[in-house]
């Protein structure tokens, strides 16, 4: 079937290539004679139409490439270039408006001239803005003046003229300078740092190739269908293969570009960043230094590939990062963290267990906690016939046996920050806790539905079971959690999960168009959706916990529901399955006890709530002061609150109190886990109720 699929695509490609060559020579250009103005290259027209054909035939969403979708693609492309409305003028947007409802026809015809014209204007505007930034930086600023800077301009109007644009950028540069001033830098150092930063940004944009622009536009098209359908240029595709093989040493973080910043898109389970607990999703990396004493290189405005090269390095070597933590807001003072590069090995992603001792209502309880960072399986070792190949289910089975020997009274499966992985392992893992039956339904783009069953009729553990999740629990984590919840086998505790209930397939365009004469990229497209055994989709809404904890993450800002193009939640027919029990009947009483407990003066829980509220307040801020005294007071008060909160928590846990400016160690952080501890208390309540 796979060979037939590829053969059909090759035939389609050949027909398109012939038609495009004969019909559209008039607007195809070669870029070899200039670097100032970018044009679509000859092969891109054919590649564009090949991508369109694949999407129309095989994408899960049966879409119409019409004026409505053209409008969405147009807006997404502008956002990919100027997300904060800081470069284009209102007049520019008015001029581009001629393409708003024409892009659908251009995509069908392989006409890529409009997006390249828009990008070339963008390059001009970047140059203008950075020239202006350099001029006003030389003049200096009055940091005693009371004025505000708008942090997020996503909903703001486009600047109408040069005066308005200049005022916007004067405040932007002033804010950049004030951020450095508040870290103790002298003015000459600030000027040097910002001059280099702006020049790096200029260099980054000016180095954009024709292929970069093509990728930007194609992704504006593909991601208008759903956020997990992407086009990867040849270089992006090569980097993707490196990330998937995980053979290079580094810090174990997947990075992306947001405006001029390098942002942490994901933390890879088992890597240095994951182990350290110092780097998190959403953090922005603004500086990189080598070794213990190397000088920091400001990387704001750098191309993502160049930042990655700085961060990668030999195993065992030290890299220091300056970051703006996502939890502290976009304009918080940068933090410095130190990581030791290492290879990311399968063993380090393995499930791990520990004992959680809880005193609840003056009674002692002993629970087993199994942390699963990812759903993994060593497929190659399995295919070689190795008996002891590593997999999530095999490892958890061993851990369960060990914990049963420890005579634990219940098991907590910790899936926080588990972004998914092997579907087969999610199914097999569910089978350790249920006797038999369906685990997940998969609906393909042709409407056919496949039911995946537990392959093992035995139960490895039948005692009390809780699953702890957060907003970063996704995909396979959601399949497992949903099945446990639907069977009534255990309770789900924590935050609403991510909501990724779709399946992707990767197509190498070089195999589809082998005679193109060019190295082509890859397309990752959504081909199916996951459904719970009760018929509900895990898509968009994720899995709702039976007992929900406060979350710093706004679903409108992070997760599947934050993406306007995400596939909708829907429902299909329920499968036949026999529930394990009616554990939900205990939820009202458990919730009551939970609420009574957190109302008490619990230092650990109060610290957790304070952090959640502080994060929300920072992210809800739309304007910040450009007055040095006001900003310094805000920073000092923020740092004092954190210092007092940390020491209050450490005192309650019996840990050594910190001195001003001293950071807690990673080991200390692991001792304080309010979400896990409260989950333990809820499990203790459950056991006392059930008897």
Active site residues: 475, 486, 500
Q: Which parts of 444-575 fold into alpha helices (H)? A: 476-486, 509-512
Q: For residue 118, is it left (φ>0), alpha (ψ between -120 and 50) or beta?
A: alpha
Total residues found in the chain within this entry: 691
Whether 500 contacts 475, CB under 8 Å = yes
Any bridge partners for residue 370, and if so which?
353, 413
Backbone angles phi, psi at 338, to 5 degrees: -120, 130
Output the six-digit token pair for 65: 């490439």
Closest by Cα among 590, 373, 583 to 463: 583
506: closest CA among 246, 237, 214, 217? 237
Instruction: Identify the H or E element spanning 371.
Output: strand 363-371
CA atoms lying within 13 Å on the CB side of residue 187: 8
DSSP 659: P
What does R_g of the chain's alpha carbons equal in angstroms? 27
- As beta bridge partners, residue 528 has 444, 503
- For 622, the token pair is 């739309």
Rounded Cα distance, 190 and 178, in Å: 9
Q: Please, what's the largest Cα pairwise distance for the chain?
A: 83
490 token code pair: 């255990």
Phi and psi based region of residue 482 (left: phi greater than 0; alpha: psi -120 to 50; beta: remaining): alpha
Contact, 404 vs 461, CB < 8 A?
Answer: yes
Distance (Å, whole) CA 46 – CA 513: 9
Q: How far apart are CA 159 and CA 135, in angstroms?
A: 20
Helices (H), 24-102: 42-58, 67-81, 90-96
Helix (H/G/I), strand (E/B), else coil: 201: helix
Q: Which two tokens stand for residue 306?
A: 């160049």
Residue 234 CB burial class (10 angstroms; 0-12, 13-18, ≥19): middle
Structure tokens at 161: 């003229």
- Characterize 629-641 residue by residue with b for buried, 16 or more Cβ atoms within 10 angstroms of its Cβ, and e for exposed: eebeebeeebeee
Give the DSSP letter string of 620-632.
H--EEE--HHHHH
């Amino acid at each position: 079937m796979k060979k037939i699929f590829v053969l059909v695509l090759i035939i389609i490609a050949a027909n398109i290539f012939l038609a495009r060559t004969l019909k559209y020579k008039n607007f195809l250009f070669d870029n070899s004679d200039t670097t100032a103005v970018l044009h679509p290259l000859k092969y891109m027209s054919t590649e564009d139409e090949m991508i369109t054909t694949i999407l129309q035939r095989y994408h899960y969403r049966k879409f119409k490439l019409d004026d409505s979708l053209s409008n969405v693609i147009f807006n997404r492309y502008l956002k990919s270039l100027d997300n904060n409305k800081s470069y284009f003028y209102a007049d520019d947007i008015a001029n581009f408006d001629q393409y708003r409802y024409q892009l659908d026809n251009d995509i069908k015809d392989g006409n890529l001239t409009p997006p390249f014209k828009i990008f070339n204007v963008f390059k001009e505007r970047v140059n203008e803005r950075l020239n202006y930034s350099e001029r006003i930086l030389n003049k200096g600023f009055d940091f005693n003046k009371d004025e505000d800077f708008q942090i997020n301009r996503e909903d703001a109007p486009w600047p109408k003229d040069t005066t308005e644009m200049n005022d916007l950028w004067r405040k932007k540069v002033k804010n950049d300078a004030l951020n450095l001033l508040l870290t103790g830098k002298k003015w000459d150092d600030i000027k040097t740092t910002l001059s280099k930063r702006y020049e790096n940004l200029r260099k980054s944009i000016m180095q954009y190739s024709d292929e970069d622009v093509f990728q930007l536009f194609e992704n504006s098209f593909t991601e208008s269908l759903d956020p997990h359908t992407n086009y990867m240029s040849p270089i992006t595709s090569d980097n993707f293969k490196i990330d998937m093989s995980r053979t290079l040493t580094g810090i174990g973080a997947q990075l992306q570009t947001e405006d001029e910043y390098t942002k942490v898109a994901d933390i890879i389970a088992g890597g240095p960043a994951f182990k350290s607990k110092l780097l998190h999703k959403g953090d922005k990396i603004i500086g990189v230094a080598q070794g213990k004493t190397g000088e920091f290189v400001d990387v704001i405005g750098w191309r993502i590939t160049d930042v990655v090269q700085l961060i990668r390095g030999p195993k065992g070597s030290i890299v220091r990062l300056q970051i703006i933590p996502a939890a502290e807001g976009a304009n918080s003072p940068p933090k410095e963290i130190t990581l030791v590069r290492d290879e990311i090995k399968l063993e380090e992603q393995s499930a791990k267990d520990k004992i959680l001792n809880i005193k609840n209502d003056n009674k002692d309880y002993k629970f087993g906690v199994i942390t699963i960072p990812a759903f993994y399986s060593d497929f190659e070792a399995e295919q070689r016939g190795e008996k002891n190949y590593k997999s999530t289910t095999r490892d958890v089975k061993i851990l369960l046996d060990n914990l049963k020997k420890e005579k634990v009274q219940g098991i907590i499966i910790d899936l926080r920050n588990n972004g998914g992985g092997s579907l087969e392992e999610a199914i097999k893992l569910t089978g350790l806790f249920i006797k038999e039956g369906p685990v997940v339904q998969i609906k393909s783009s042709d409407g056919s539905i496949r039911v995946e069953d537990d392959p093992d009729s035995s139960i490895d553990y039948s005692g009390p079971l809780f699953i702890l999740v957060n907003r970063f629990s996704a995909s396979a984590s959601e399949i497992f959690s949903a099945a446990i919840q639907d069977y009534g086998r255990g309770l789900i505790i924590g935050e609403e999960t991510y909501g990724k209930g779709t399946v992707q397939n990767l197509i190498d365009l070089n195999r589809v168009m082998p005679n193109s004469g060019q190295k082509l990229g890859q397309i990752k497209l959504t081909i199916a959706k996951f459904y719970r055994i009760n018929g509900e989709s895990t898509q968009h809404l994720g899995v709702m916990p039976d007992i929900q904890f406060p979350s710093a993450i706004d679903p409108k800002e992070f997760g599947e529901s934050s993406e306007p193009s995400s596939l909708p939640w829907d429902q299909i027919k329920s499968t036949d399955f026999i529930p394990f029990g009616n554990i939900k009947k205990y939820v009202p009483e458990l919730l009551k006890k939970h609420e009574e407990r957190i109302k008490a003066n619990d230092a650990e829980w109060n610290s957790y709530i304070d952090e959640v509220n502080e994060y929300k307040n920072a992210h809800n801020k739309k304007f910040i002061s450009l007055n040095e005294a006001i900003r310094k007071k805000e920073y000092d008060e923020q740092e004092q609150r954190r210092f007092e909160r940390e020491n209050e928590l450490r005192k309650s846990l019996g840990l050594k109190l910190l001195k001003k400016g001293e950071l807690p160690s990673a080991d200390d952080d692991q001792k304080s886990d309010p979400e896990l501890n409260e989950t333990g208390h809820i499990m203790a309540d459950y056991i006392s109720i059930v008897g």
